[in-house]
Every structure is written in C-alpha cells, then in structure tokens.
Amino acid sequence: MKTDSSMPPTLQPGLTGEVTITVTDDLTAVAFGSGTVRVYGTPALIALLEEAAIRAVHDHLPDGQITVGTRLDVQHLAATPVGMTVTATATLKEIDGRRLVFEVEASDAVERIGAGTHERFIVDLARFQAKVNAKQAD
C-alpha cells in the first residue's frame, strides 16, 4: 500500500459506507431500459454501490478533494421486487496513492443481491471541473 503524505491519517483501509433505499418503479430494469422485468435494475444497483463508497471516504478527504469512479466489477446475483429495501455497503480495502479500492456488496431483505470490487480516484474538484468545462468549450 502506497500512501500519499497529503492525505489525512484518517483515510485508512477499513472505512465503511452504507446506503439503504426502497425499490421504486423508477429504479427498475424497465425504467432504465436495461431489461424488461419490473425488478431492481442493475444500473440502480451500480449507483447505490458507488454511493456507499463515496460515503465511506467523503468525510476523510482534504478540502477541495472528491473521488471519481473509474472501475467497477460487480455481479448482480438476485432479483429484488419493487417495495423491498436494498442495503449497499462499501469497505475501503486498499489505498495506492490516489487510487482507492473497495469491496462492495448489496443485500435485500431476503438475500445477498450483488457483490464485487469498485475503484475510485481522489481528484482535485476545481482541476477536474476545469477539464470538463474545457471539453464543452471546444
């Protein structure tokens, strides 16, 4: 594990973030266009797992720093019906400079529905936004 001396000492492996939602019609595969069944959609699962990772580290980043998702390897293991709750958890497993690697998983009220790994990078928000804005100017 490479550490960056500019990172606060509280940014350490083991940090965990958690998010719980209730599946609604706008979170289904049908709503996202990713399937034809009215169950929790994979795109919604991905977003929830990313949100859990953000929550795990957000309060431990220096001012002006954020994380951006760069890689996700997740299996969507089981279907969840509308009305059921889903809880996603992300645990920071590795820090390599600005690269953060999380173990992510999600469960509904009955079973584990998703699991995998997620990678995020720490970036300077102002610099990142400037690059995005420059693309629009072209």
Residue 35 lies in a domain: yes
Look-up of token digits 């795990």: 56
Nearest-angstrom CA–CA distance, 130 and 16: 30
Q: How many distinct structural domains can be found in the chain?
A: 1
Residue 8 lies in a domain: no
List pLDDT tens digits, range 78-105: 999 999 999 999 999 999 999 999 999 9
Runs of H (alpha helix) within the chain? 29-32, 42-57, 125-137
7 is written with which tokens? 């990172």
Domain of residue 70, residue span: 16-137
Residue 1 lies in a domain: no
Q: pLDDT confidence of 137, banded at 50, 70, 90?
A: confident
Residue 10 lies in a domain: no
Can you give the pLDDT at residue 1? 46
Q: In CATH, what number is assigned to the domain containing residue 94?
A: 3.10.129.10
> Which residues fall within 8 angstroms of residue 131, CB to CB, at 6 or more apart?
none
Nearest-angstrom CA–CA distance, 77 and 114: 5
Decide: 35 and 29 in contact? Cβ < 8 Å. yes
Residue 84 lies in a domain: yes
Residue 65 lies in a domain: yes
Residue 11 lies in a domain: no
List pLDDT tens digits, range 16-54: 999 999 999 999 999 999 999 999 999 999 999 999 999
Q: Hey, which residues are catalytic here?
A: 42, 50, 76
